[in-house]
Structure 1
Amino acid sequence: MSRTMSVNPLWLFQIFPWLRWWPRVGRDSLRADLIAGLTGAIIVLPQGVAFAVIAGLPPEYGLYTAMVPAVIAALFGSSWHLVSGPTTAISIVVFGALSVMAEPGTAHYIELALTLTFLTGLFQLAMGVARLGAVVNFISHTVVVGFTAGAAILIASSQIKNFFGVDLPRGAGFAETIWTFAHRLQEINPYVLAVAMVTLLTGILIRRYAPRVPYMIAAMLAGSLVAFLLNHFLGDSRTGIRLLGALPARLPPLSLPDFDPKALSQLAPAALAVAMLGLTEAVSIARAVAARAEQRIDGNQEFIGQGLSNVVGSFFSAYASSGSFNRSGLNYEAGARTPLAAVFASVALGAILLLVAPLMAFLPIASMAAVLFLVAYGLIDFHHIRGILRASKRETAILLTTFLSTLFVQLEFAIYLGVMLSLIFYLLRTSKPNVASVTPDPESPYRPLVARLDLPQCPQVLMVRIDGSLFFGAVNHVEQRLGELAQQFPERRVLVINGRSINFVDIAGAETLVQEARRWRRRGGDLYIYGLKPAAMAILERGHFLDELGRDRVLNNRDEVIRRLYPDLDPEICARCTARIFTECRQGESKVHRLTSAGT
Structure 2
Amino acid sequence: MDITRYMPVLSWGRRYGRKELSADLIAAVIVTIMLIPQSLAYALLAGLPPEAGLYASIAPIVLYALFGTSKALAVGPVAVVSLLTASAVGQVAEQGTAGYAIAALTLAFLSGGFLLVMGVLRLGFLANFLSHPVIAGFITASGILIATSQFKHILGVSGHGDTLPEMLLSLATHLGDINWITLGLGGLSISFLFWVRKHFKPFLLKLGAPEKLADVLTKAGPVFAVIATTVAVWAFELQTQGVKIVGEVPQSLPPLTLPGFAPELLGALLLPAILISVIGFVESVSVAQTLAAKKRQRIDPDQELIGLGAANMGAAFTGGYPVTGGFARSVVNFDAGAETPAAGIYTAIGLAIAALALTPLVYYLPNATLAATIIVAVLSLVDLSILKTTWSYAHADFSAVAATILLTLGLGVEVGVAAGVIISVLLHLYKTSRPHVAEVGRVPGTEHFRNVLRHDVQTHPSLLTLRVDESLYFANARFLEDLVQNRVSERTDIKHVVLMFSAVNEVDYSALESLEAINFRLGEIGVGLHFSEVKGPVMDRLKRGHLLEQLNGKVFLSQNDAFRELTHD
Shorter-chain TM-score bucket reads 0.7 to 0.9
Residue 534 of structure 1 deviates from its aligned partner by 2.2
- The change in CA–CA distance for 1:94 and 1:199 in structure 2 (over 3 A counts) is closer
Secondary structure of residue in 2 paired with 1:462: strand
- Residue type at the aligned position of 2:184: A
Secondary structure of residue in 2 paired with 1:496: strand
Name the counterpart of 2:128: 137
How many Å separate the matches in 1 of 2:548 and 2:369? 73
How many Å separate the matches in 2 of 1:292 and 1:252? 32
Name the counterpart of 2:197: 207
- Residue type at the aligned position of 2:154: F
How many Å separate the matches in 2 of 1:306 and 1:545? 47
- The change in CA–CA distance for 1:301 and 1:336 in structure 2 (over 3 A counts) is same
How many Å separate the matches in 2 of 1:49 and 1:474? 49
Residue 30 of structure 1 deviates from its aligned partner by 4.9
Residue 501 of structure 1 deviates from its aligned partner by 1.8
How many Å separate the matches in 1 of 2:108 and 2:555? 57
Counterpart contact for 2:114–2:277, Cα < 8 Å = no
Aligned 1:48-127 pairs, distance under 5 A: 48=43, 51=46, 53=48, 60-61=51-52, 63-78=54-69, 80-85=72-77, 87-90=82-85, 93-94=88-89, 105=98, 121-127=112-118
Alignment partner of 2:40 out of 45, 50, 70: 45
Counterpart contact for 1:13–1:20, Cα < 8 Å = no
Name the counterpart of 1:346: 348
Aligned 1:325-474 pairs, distance under 5 A: 328-332=326-330, 334=332, 336-337=334-335, 342-381=344-383, 384-442=386-444, 444-452=445-453, 455-474=457-476
Name the counterpart of 1:225: 228
Name the counterpart of 1:3: none
Question: Does residue 160 of the first structure (1) align with residue 160 of the second (2)?
Answer: no
Residue 547 of structure 1 deviates from its aligned partner by 0.5
Counterpart contact for 2:41–2:373, Cα < 8 Å = no
Counterpart contact for 2:246–2:367, Cα < 8 Å = yes
- The change in CA–CA distance for 1:514 and 1:381 in structure 2 (over 3 A counts) is same
Output one character per residue of 1:402-427: Cα deviation in whole Å (capped at 9) or x when no partner. Answer: 22222233423312211211211211
Output one character per residue of 1:258-289: Cα deviation in whole Å (capped at 9) or x when no partner. Answer: 9xxxx687766457445413312321332564
Output one character per residue of 1:510-549: Cα deviation in whole Å (capped at 9) or x when no partner. Answer: 2332333333333333221111122322232111211011
Question: Does residue 36 of the first structure (1) align with residue 28 of the second (2)?
Answer: no
Name the counterpart of 2:508: 506
Secondary structure of residue in 2 paired with 1:348: helix
Gaps of 5+ in 1: 1-8, 567-583, 586-600
How many Å separate the matches in 1 of 2:314 and 2:222? 35
Gaps of 5+ in 2: 202-214
- Cα RMSD between the aligned structures? 3.7
- Residue type at the aligned position of 1:83: V
Output one character per residue of 1:161-189: Cα deviation in whole Å (capped at 9) or x when no partner. Answer: 12222x12345543222122234334433
Secondary structure of residue in 2 paired with 1:321: coil
Name the counterpart of 2:7: 15
Residue 155 of structure 1 deviates from its aligned partner by 1.8
How many Å separate the matches in 2 of 1:51 and 1:318? 13
What TM-score, normalized to structure 1?
0.78
Name the counterpart of 1:494: 496
Question: Does residue 188 of the first structure (1) align with residue 178 of the second (2)?
Answer: yes
Give the number of equivalent residue pairs: 539
Counterpart contact for 2:24–2:343, Cα < 8 Å = no
- The change in CA–CA distance for 1:369 and 1:217 in structure 2 (over 3 A counts) is farther
Counterpart contact for 2:258–2:316, Cα < 8 Å = yes
Task: Specify which structure has the bigger relative contact order, considering alpha-carbon pairs within 8 angstroms and separated by 6 or more residues.
Answer: 2
Name the counterpart of 1:574: none
Sequence identity (%) = 27
Residue 92 of structure 1 deviates from its aligned partner by 5.2
Secondary structure of residue in 2 paired with 1:253: coil
What TM-score, normalized to structure 2?
0.82
Output one character per residue of 1:340-370: Cα deviation in whole Å (capped at 9) or x when no partner. Answer: 6654553333212211222122333222222
- Residue type at the aligned position of 1:248: P
How many Å separate the matches in 2 of 1:267 and 1:190? 41
Query: Based on CA coordinates, which of the two structures has the bigger radius of gyration?
Result: 1
- The change in CA–CA distance for 1:515 and 1:129 in structure 2 (over 3 A counts) is same
How many Å separate the matches in 2 of 1:18 and 1:188? 56
- The change in CA–CA distance for 1:197 and 1:514 in structure 2 (over 3 A counts) is same
Counterpart contact for 2:463–2:566, Cα < 8 Å = no
- The change in CA–CA distance for 1:447 and 1:177 in structure 2 (over 3 A counts) is closer
- The change in CA–CA distance for 1:413 and 1:26 in structure 2 (over 3 A counts) is farther
- The change in CA–CA distance for 1:191 and 1:222 in structure 2 (over 3 A counts) is same
Counterpart contact for 2:39–2:50, Cα < 8 Å = no
- The change in CA–CA distance for 1:190 and 1:104 in structure 2 (over 3 A counts) is closer
- The change in CA–CA distance for 1:515 and 1:381 in structure 2 (over 3 A counts) is same
Output one character per residue of 1:2-38: Cα deviation in whole Å (capped at 9) or x when no partner. Answer: xxxxxxx976344216957999968566534432332
